[in-house]
Amino acid sequence: MAFGTLLRQYRRAAELTQEVLAERSGLSVDAVSALERGARRAPRRITVDRLAAALGLTPPEREALIASAPSRAARRPPRRPASAWRSRRR
């Protein structure tokens, strides 16, 4: 299940509005909304941890939410080694 879908499911199960979840987690309402809609698909681990705590998730639910969040590193292009940069400057 996609991160945003699972986040929305947990929020609704906790009977919280986006506003209340945002306040409890220290995020903005816009950030919560963007995560649920999939506009922001790779949240930082600290963000996922804050959301899980604010939602009062059980350990298995927390792990499911973490597992559903794509890695930010997976979205970045590979870094070039320093040697590649040095050889281009010569």
User: What is the predicted pLDDT for the residue at 15?
Assistant: 98
User: What is the predicted pLDDT for the residue at 71?
Assistant: 78
The string of DSSP letters for 23-37 reads HHHT--HHHHHHHHH
Does 23 map to a domain? yes
Range of the domain at 51: 3-69
Does 44 map to a domain? yes
Query: Cα dist. 63→37, 57, 66, 78, 80 in Å?
Result: 21, 9, 5, 27, 33
Does 81 map to a domain? no
Does 48 map to a domain? yes
Does 90 map to a domain? no
Does 53 map to a domain? yes
Domain count, the chain: 1
CATH code of residue 9: 1.10.260.40
Asked if the model's pLDDT at residue 13 lies above 70, the reply is yes
Does 88 map to a domain? no
Does 50 map to a domain? yes
Q: What is the pLDDT of residues 43-82, one digit of tens each?
A: 999 999 999 999 999 999 999 999 999 876 444 555 666 6
Contact assessment for residue 14 and residue 8, using Cβ atoms and an 8 Å cutoff = no
- C-alpha dihedral, 74 to 78 to 81 to 82, nearest 10°: -90
